[in-house]
Chains A and B, each alone.
Chain A
Amino acid sequence: MDATKTPKVKKESKNKIKVEFEGQLSTWERLKLKVFSMYFLKNVVVYICRLILLIGLSYIVIYPFISKLASSIMCREDFVDATVMLISKNPTLDTYKAIIIDNRYLEALINTFVLSASTALIQMFVCCLIGYGFAKFRFRGNGLLFLFVILTMIVPHSTLHLAMFMKFRYFDVFGILNFLGGGVFESVELLDFTSVSLINSYWPFLILSATGLAFKNGLYIFMLRQFFRGVPDSLEESAYIDGAGTLRTFIQIILPISIPMLVTVFMFAFSWQWTDNYYVNVFFTTTGPYTLRDIVKVPATLDTQYAGSNMYIAAIRNTAGILIITPLIFIYCFAQKYLVQGIERSGLTAE
């Protein structure tokens, strides 16, 4: 290279300069070199293949929702019309109207919201406490107790169906209620009558949440424990030196840094309670609180007695499904950022 030739420096704008030196290729030539190389070509091909694959797979995930949405705005005649596949000829909101009014959608929405939000909040705090306790304190029996957490995670809830129902149908703590009621066992095999029935109330959900035993709580405890293990001890030690107690350290130091994890757990707890139909079916009989599971039925004002009844009923069901998940989608859009971040930070991968 010839060092004597000094490059020309042009000032293009306030913060930008352009350096030109002799022998430099023009922009067009540089572009040509870049574009017509094998390396570039390979990258483009890989990029396109990857995009097609991802879009195709995303389509599989999203298609059921598109199809549900499409069938929900079809009118009655569209289902017997062979030319209608996905897009309705006469879009109508009759199905929505019928479900919202006849099936008392709003009442179900409010009931489910109260149930989901309260249980999710309780679960978030309780699991956080428990996870922190397991992660940072080496008390006696730590390992054994954590084994029980794993046990609650792997025993399917269907296994406990009858036991769970009986537990809350005849709710009693170590026979204390029975004792207070003055009841005496008539025979050993006889279950007591003086216990309280918590069926058809929110209490079973609240009790299970407050003790970290509700749906998938083992998973949350596990996730939070792994997360807290990654938090350096020096953070708490400096708080202790400054005179903070354990609880204060937990509230003022630990909770603020674990917000992504908390949002993740809240999101899981909320949405799994929202779409839950297992626990609701166990604890609520037909006279129980009116929740979202009850809106999945054919509204009284819609006439389904015709040739396309099968498809029409399916479409009504799909519409109810859309109405059920719409609030969730909104929440997901807000929490999604934290969700991926939270799981990645949880260190589910360690151990």
Chain B
Amino acid sequence: MNAEANKSKKVKVNSAPKKRRRAVSLDKKKARTGYWFVLPFIIGLLIVYLPMIFQSINYSFHELRNIQGGGVELIPVGFANYQEALFSDAEYVQTLTSGIRQILFDIPAIVIFSLFMAILLNQDMAGRGLFRAIFFIPVIISTGLMSDIDAQNILQQTSGQSIDTGTGTNSVAQIVNVMDVERLFANMKVGSGLVEYVVQLVNDIFDIVNRSGVQMLIFLAGLQSISPAIYESCQIDGATGWETFWKITFPMISPMILVNAIYTIIDALTRTDNPVMQYIENVYTSVSGGNVLSSAMSWMYFLLVMVIIAVVAAVISAYVFYQRRDA
């Protein structure tokens, strides 16, 4: 009796997985078809992307040498490329620190400017569509070749006279200079660092407007997702526009501030006209053995920026307000 019961129990245990395999639920079956949809990406990841990443890291620990008859030879050199980048290269560390500082300066400027523009373009007025279209032009056009042309023109501007294309940051084309702003801030007891920052912002306005297109749209979409009923009840309670902004709009839009801050960093990192990247590209093409050296340099840069993203995300997400979905 007892043994029989044990036996039947055993059979049950054995048969259970078989049964489950036979009767796959519709949901699971459907979930499996998802693999077909992402198949192109899986193939690309396995065949092209991951090997490329590993190779790139691998190259940074090697020396690449051409052999006669066409072909290349890899010689492992350990951390020599990294040491060369950090200690032998005269400009790399300097370019790196100024590039990182530039990114840190740009985050508040671009985020604040794009928020400001989004609020402006969210209001009802004539020609709103036209203005939105204009502010989005740089995202489409001022990339790659065009920014290359602008960069070449600016380079020429500094060496001699050239046409002012509004993109220049040299002293002649400056919109305001430090002296004017200093006079403005004379009695406000602010440090000279802030003054220089403001001057730099005003003079880089072209750059900032150019780079805040996508961020502006993200904010615009965020602003439109705030329920008008909240604004209405604020108005009825007698809140001024200023109060409404700080108490309603700002908290509601704070998740987008986080998204935009991170987007701004990534965008600055992956831009080809990023000064650090340009320096690295220059090393790639013009220095002997620069191809492996540039791999080492860019991986170091990448890691540093990842650290910045982590820090920025941690700091901002402490202040982000998430509206409860069920509320």
A positions within 8 Å CB-CB of B: 47, 50-51, 53-54, 57-58, 60-64, 67-68, 71, 126, 129-130, 132-134, 136-140, 142, 145, 148-149, 152-164, 166-167, 173-174, 189-191, 193, 207-208, 210-213, 221, 246, 250, 267-268, 271-272, 275-278, 292-293, 296, 310-311, 313-315, 317-318, 320-321, 324-325, 328-329, 332, 336, 339-340, 343-344, 346-349
Confirm or deny: B313 has a beta carbon within 8 angstroms of a beta carbon on chain A.
no
Confirm or deny: B287 has a beta carbon within 8 angstroms of a beta carbon on chain A.
no
Confirm or deny: B294 has a beta carbon within 8 angstroms of a beta carbon on chain A.
yes
Question: Which residues of B have CB within 8 Å of A190?
Answer: 67, 71, 73
Per a CB cutoff under 8 Å, which of A164, A292, A344 touches B52?
A164
Decide: B53 and A158 in contact? CB cutoff 8 A: no
CB distance from B270 to the nearest CB of A (A): 5
Between A and B, 24 residue pairs with Cβ closer than 8 Å are A57-B135, A61-B209, A133-B34, A134-B34, A137-B30, A137-B35, A158-B280, A159-B298, A167-B52, A212-B41, A268-B140, A275-B146, A276-B144, A278-B272, A293-B145, A296-B149, A317-B149, A320-B149, A328-B140, A332-B141, A343-B218, A344-B217, A346-B221, A349-B259
CB distance from A188 to the nearest CB of B (A): 9
Per-residue 0/1 for B151-178: is the Cβ within 8 Å of any A Cβ (1 yes, 0 no)?
Answer: 0110010011111111100000000000
Closest to A70 in B: B163
Q: How far is the CA of A54 from the CA of B166 in the complex (A)?
A: 17
Question: Which residues of B have CB within 8 Å of A152?
Answer: 49
Decide: A145 and B38 in contact? CB cutoff 8 A: yes
Question: Which residues of A have CB within 8 Å of B306?
Answer: 154
Question: Which residues of A have CB within 8 Å of B222?
Answer: 349
Per a CB cutoff under 8 Å, which of B64, B143, B206 touches A272?
B143
Per-residue 0/1 for B163-195: is the Cβ within 8 Å of any A Cβ (1 yes, 0 no)?
Answer: 111110000000000000000000000000000
CB distance from A221 to the nearest CB of B (A): 8
Decide: A162 and B292 in contact? CB cutoff 8 A: yes
Decide: A340 and B259 in contact? CB cutoff 8 A: no
Q: How far is the CA of A50 from the CA of B117 in the complex (A)?
A: 10
Question: Which residues of A have CB within 8 Å of B47?
Answer: 173-174, 211
Given contacts A145-B41, A210-B44, A311-B161, 7 further A-B contacts (CB under 8 A): A62-B134, A156-B277, A158-B281, A163-B295, A213-B44, A325-B141, A325-B146
Decide: B38 and A161 in contact? CB cutoff 8 A: no
Q: How far is the CA of A73 from the CA of B166 in the complex (A)?
A: 18
Question: Which residues of A have CB within 8 Å of B30?
Answer: 137, 246
Per a CB cutoff under 8 Å, which of A129, A189, A348 touches B221?
A348
Question: For window 124-154 of chain B, which residues contact chain A by CB distance below 8 Å?
Answer: 125, 129, 131-138, 140-141, 143-146, 148-150, 152-153
CB distance from A116 to the nearest CB of B (A): 12
Per-residue 0/1 for B270-300: is the Cβ within 8 Å of any A Cβ (1 yes, 0 no)?
Answer: 1010100100110010000001101100110
Question: Which residues of B have CB within 8 Å of A161?
Answer: 281, 284, 291, 294-295, 298
Please list the 8 inter-chain residue pairs (A to B) with the smallest Cβ-Cβ separation, ordered nearest first.
A211-B44, A137-B34, A133-B37, A163-B56, A133-B38, A275-B144, A159-B298, A63-B166
Decide: B48 and A213 in contact? CB cutoff 8 A: yes
Decide: A67 and B166 in contact? CB cutoff 8 A: yes
Question: Which residues of A have CB within 8 Å of B284?
Answer: 158, 161-162
Decide: B33 and A246 in contact? CB cutoff 8 A: yes
Decide: A311 and B41 in contact? CB cutoff 8 A: no
Question: Which residues of A have CB within 8 Å of B64?
Answer: 162
Per-residue 0/1 for B20-45: is the Cβ within 8 Å of any A Cβ (1 yes, 0 no)?
Answer: 00000000001111111110111111
CB distance from B198 to the nearest CB of A (A): 17
Q: How far is the CA of A250 from the CA of B37 in the complex (A)?
A: 10
Interface of chain B: mostly helix, strand, loop or mixed: helix
Q: How many residues of B contact A (CB 8 A)?
A: 101
Per a CB cutoff under 8 Å, which of A138, A272, A311, A340 touches B162?
A311
Question: Which residues of B have CB within 8 Å of A134?
Answer: 34, 37-38
Question: Which residues of A have CB within 8 Å of B156?
Answer: 310, 313-314
Decide: B280 and A318 in contact? CB cutoff 8 A: no
Question: Which residues of A have CB within 8 Å of B137?
Answer: 61-62, 332
Q: How far is the CA of A207 from the CA of B49 in the complex (A)?
A: 11
Decide: A148 and B280 in contact? CB cutoff 8 A: no
CB distance from B205 to the nearest CB of A (A): 6
Confirm or deny: B55 has a beta carbon within 8 angstroms of a beta carbon on chain A.
yes
Question: For window 57-79 of chain B, which residues contact chain A by CB distance below 8 Å?
Answer: 59, 64, 67, 70-75
Question: Which residues of B have CB within 8 Å of A162?
Answer: 56, 59, 64, 284, 291-292, 294-295
Confirm or deny: B110 has a beta carbon within 8 angstroms of a beta carbon on chain A.
no
Confirm or deny: B255 has a beta carbon within 8 angstroms of a beta carbon on chain A.
yes
Confirm or deny: B199 has a beta carbon within 8 angstroms of a beta carbon on chain A.
no
Question: Which residues of A have CB within 8 Å of B280?
Answer: 158
Best-surrounded residue of A50, A156, A324 (most CB of chain B within 10 A) = A156
Confirm or deny: B225 has a beta carbon within 8 angstroms of a beta carbon on chain A.
yes
Question: Which residues of A have CB within 8 Å of B108?
Answer: none
Decide: A349 and B256 in contact? CB cutoff 8 A: yes
Closest to B34 in A: A137
Q: How far is the CA of A68 from the CA of B210 in the complex (A)?
A: 17
Closest to B291 in A: A162
Q: How far is the CA of A344 from the CA of B224 in the complex (A)?
A: 9
Decide: B34 and A314 in contact? CB cutoff 8 A: no
Closest to B218 in A: A348
Decide: B35 and A67 in contact? CB cutoff 8 A: no
Confirm or deny: B87 has a beta carbon within 8 angstroms of a beta carbon on chain A.
no
CB distance from A348 to the nearest CB of B (A): 5
Closest to A149 in B: B41
Question: Which residues of B have CB within 8 Å of A174?
Answer: 47
